[in-house]
Structure 1
Amino acid sequence: MASIVFYFQVHQPWRLRRYSVFDSDPFYFDNIANRDILLKVADKCYRPATTLMLDLVKKNKGNFRISYSITGTVLDQLEQWAPDVLDLFKQLGDTGCCEFIAETDYHSLSFIYSREEFRAQIEQHTQRMERLFGQRPTVFRNTELTYNNDVAHFIGGMKNADGSARFKGMLCEGVDRILGYRSPNFVYRPPGVGVGAAKGKDGAARPFGLLLKNYRLSDDIAFRFGNRGWEEWPLSTEKFARWVHQINGDGYLCNLFMDYETFGEHQWADTGIFDFLGDLPRAIFDIARGENHFITPSEAFEQFEPVGEYDVPHMISWADTERDLSAWLGNAMQVNAITECYKLERPIKDRLRIAQADDQGQVAEELGYILEDWRKLTTSDHFYYMCTKWFADGDVHKYFNPYDSPYDSYINFMNVLDNLRERLDRLPAGASARPVSGAAT
């Protein structure tokens, strides 16, 4: 038996406009480009892929089950520019066959720099999921599957109001150097973390669990599907179903994790990716009737006990061939930019707290705008654009990158950050110096 966990990441950042040292307005974000990109991706991916997912759920009478994490930044853009796509996601949620997973609302690396901000972004994202989809997430994935034992301890230690465990488990990358001889096709547990929110059939609490991405099979779809130079091209659903079925005996899970933009954007429609997706459930079911099925991450944690520990003392991610943080923190520009960014967190939040306590309404309002702008700057994409590495999957770093070079990205980001700092510094306590914060239109 192979249980397929199909998980998709949906994200778009708030990209910055070109901002020079001579600019002084608070309009940092290029809403023309952000809107155009969102509409393009909605046309090529979000709309057709989600419509197809709905059809597959209905056609397979609930046996096709999927999961998503959708960042707050892309949800804001969908609400503003493509509300019909948001309605499609709501319809998927209403089927009972789609699970929405928690993550950082701004797709940030906040765990590394501020546990307070990390928790705040999780709570903000959870509130969005409840408001938009009527689901309170019980599974967590950190930005770009960044993970180590400390992340697991933090998430595993989060509680509901009644003191019960908040999360059943997490998603993370199955890294060969950590797994060794072991297979990613099982549920694992982090060392030193107790029970999670999942319960077995007997009602007993299960340990906080980990689902590990099967990167080989995931990347066959996400990266290699349309590559005519790949020895397995063209990839048919029957061939892929055989590979999935071969997991039997080497595990019981096939965790297929990928960017949602795989469908129609990374892999264009003319590659046959939508035909592949539309026929995949049939092929999975037909290869061995009654043996293979689709489940959500929560269902995986409920159905299967962890088989062992996945001990990750250092940070890993699902990015590039290294599976580490070097895509975001691999050079001095990136480290400097993100460090300077998080230096502003405490002054902004302290000033906002004082203004609210002193009933300084207009000052508090402007500080709220500054905090929102700052949080948009914590989005990991800004630091990804500063990456100077070359990889086997190198073109991924150019995807919707608005800059000619990593150095342009760094200079532009630091110009914006300097202006944000100046806005904070020139705002006197007890009086309003409120510019109209927002984005260029």
Structure 2
Amino acid sequence: MRTVCFYFQVHQPFRVKPYRFFEIGEDHYYWDDFLNRNVVRKVAQKCYLPMNALLLDLIHKYQGKFKVAFSLSGTFLDQIEAYAPDVLESFQKLVATGHVELLNETYSHSLASLKSKEEFFGLVEKHQAKIKQLFNGYTPKVFRNTELIYSDQIGAMVSELGYEAILTEGAKHVLGWKSPNYVYNNSINPNLKVLLKNFLLSDDIAFRFSNKTWADYPLTTDKFVSWLNAIPKEEQVVNLFMDYETFGEHQWAETGIFEFMRHLPEAIFKNSDFGFSTPSEVVKNSKTVGAIHVPVPISWADEERDLTAWLGNEMQNEAFERLYEQERYVKKLDDPEIQRDWEYLQTSDHFYYMCTKFFSDGSVHEYFSPYDTPYDAFINYMNALSDFILRVKEKVEEKALA
């Protein structure tokens, strides 16, 4: 039986509060608790709670034949523990069914895999411990790096950590004539399986669903199943990867997105030879067709599917380099507040807000950013980072004198 694999990314960053130049050295708390709480509660009501309830209904209705996977970032988990315990409980109920898989990632949704193996490993292990703590001893088997960022080398590191598979983008410039609807393996360590997002079908739901200028609008379950049925029979796996906030936040309830998802499993079961699998089940039940070679990192962001959403201009690169210059000093300290701020400052969103792309990709960046301009995002972040650097320097000097 052919299979559909649904994976949802669930993430919220700790946004930096308005932090002015003259506060450097005076104010050591950087996080906009009011905004962060408001965003989490708003998205909880529009997306997390109704969608979790819908998925729970579907799992019970189809007696476990319908299943999905989530990656819950550590910064998201920290915020729902603090601001939305009802959301945490609803995710715990889903996982308790045994038909929802949790994936591992970096705790702070960071770009550490591009810069520091030691920091990357530490954040992965911290995230694994958090999942184990909150979900009754659950231990993920599959990895999803921040924003599906992947390369041969990143895959080799993930394999070293003991994971059996990793998710990434089925980028055209990597696949060429190949299809994303197969299981591949890492080119350095063949033991690590690679699952590729079918970006056409995923983005039909995540981005085009409510677009009235789209030639295939409106998207119905029958239309979507007909596209699945048109896939060549030898292609066994269709990976539908998307932000969880697609449901109710990016695509509002009024668009019909919830009803689409409510009726999609029945349409697939009745009118196709597809079922549903979690990533672990895909890996277990599918043979690999060979290695996929990704020498330069890819991601699921923007038209280019590369790193330019986060590291595409001088501002982003300066902020990124200045931040990671602090790693060796932070490692010398055993200070919980320094460690917390170090991890939260690594979150990829801070760099995303500094992106200066135009056209359609630029509008997407603007939608997610709390700042008026990328330059404002850069200045605000660098002010907070400058204070952090001073704090770290003082702590290191104090420790040397002790």
Q: Is the 8 A contact 2:356 2:362 kept in 1?
A: no
Of 107, 110, 115, the match for 2:109: 107
CA distance in 2, matches of 1:185, 1:348: 43
Query: Which amino acid is 2:108 matched to?
Result: Y
Structure 1 residues not aligned, in runs of 5+: 159-165, 196-207, 353-363, 434-441
Secondary structure at the aligned position of 2:71 is classed as strand
Of 39, 42, 49, the match for 1:40: 42
Name the structure 2 match of 1:272.
256
CA distance in 2, matches of 1:229, 1:255: 26
CA distance in 1, matches of 2:322, 2:220: 48
Q: 1:217-228 residue pairs with structure 2 within 5 A?
A: 217-228=201-212
Query: Which amino acid is 1:146 matched to?
Result: I
CA distance in 2, matches of 1:63, 1:14: 36
Q: Is the 8 A contact 1:320 1:391 kept in 2?
A: no
Q: 1:142-291 residue pairs with structure 2 within 5 A?
A: 142-158=145-161, 166-195=162-191, 208-288=192-272, 291=273
CA distance in 1, matches of 2:314, 2:172: 28
Query: In the alignment, is residue 299 of structure 1 matched against residue 302 of structure 2?
Result: no
Of 66, 69, 73, the match for 1:67: 69
Of 55, 58, 80, the match for 1:56: 58
Query: In the alignment, is residue 409 of structure 1 matched against residue 393 of structure 2?
Result: no
Name the structure 2 match of 1:199.
none
Higher Rg of the two aligned structures = 1
Q: Is the 8 A contact 1:213 1:257 kept in 2?
A: yes
CA distance in 2, matches of 1:35, 1:62: 34
Q: Deviations over 1:243-265 (max 9, x none)?
A: 11222425101100000000000
- Aligned-residue offset at 1:188: 0.4
Secondary structure at the aligned position of 2:390 is classed as helix
- Aligned-residue offset at 1:401: 1.2
Q: Deviations over 1:74-112 (max 9, x none)?
A: 101101111011111101101010000000000000011
TM-score, normalising length: structure 2: 0.97
Name the structure 2 match of 1:385.
353
- Aligned-residue offset at 1:116: 0.6
Name the structure 1 match of 2:131.
129
CA distance in 2, matches of 1:105, 1:222: 24
Query: Which amino acid is 2:30 matched to?
Result: Y
Structure 2 residues not aligned, in runs of 5+: none
CA distance in 1, matches of 2:264, 2:207: 17
Q: Is the 8 A contact 2:59 2:99 kept in 1?
A: yes
Structure-2 change in CA distance of 1:430 and 1:147 (3 Å): closer
Name the structure 2 match of 1:138.
141
CA distance in 2, matches of 1:34, 1:321: 29
CA distance in 2, matches of 1:98, 1:61: 13
Q: 1:370-381 residue pairs with structure 2 within 5 A?
A: 370-381=338-349
How many residue pairs align between the two structures?
398
Secondary structure at the aligned position of 1:426 is classed as helix
Query: Which amino acid is 1:303 matched to?
Result: N
Secondary structure at the aligned position of 1:307 is classed as strand
User: Which has the higher mean CA deviation after the structures are superposed, 396-405 or 177-186?
Assistant: 396-405
Q: Deviations over 1:183-233 (max 9, x none)?
A: 1000001212042xxxxxxxxxxxx21000000000000000000111111
- Aligned-residue offset at 1:371: 1.7
Q: Deviations over 1:280-314 (max 9, x none)?
A: 000111113xx210000000000011101110000
Secondary structure at the aligned position of 2:123 is classed as helix
Which is richer in helix?
2
- Aligned-residue offset at 1:400: 3.6
CA distance in 2, matches of 1:425, 1:279: 57
CA distance in 1, matches of 2:235, 2:66: 20
Query: Which amino acid is 1:252 matched to?
Result: Q
TM-score, normalising length: structure 1: 0.88
Name the structure 1 match of 2:2.
2
- Aligned-residue offset at 1:426: 2.5
CA distance in 1, matches of 2:178, 2:392: 51
Secondary structure at the aligned position of 1:188 is classed as strand
CA distance in 2, matches of 1:409, 1:345: 22
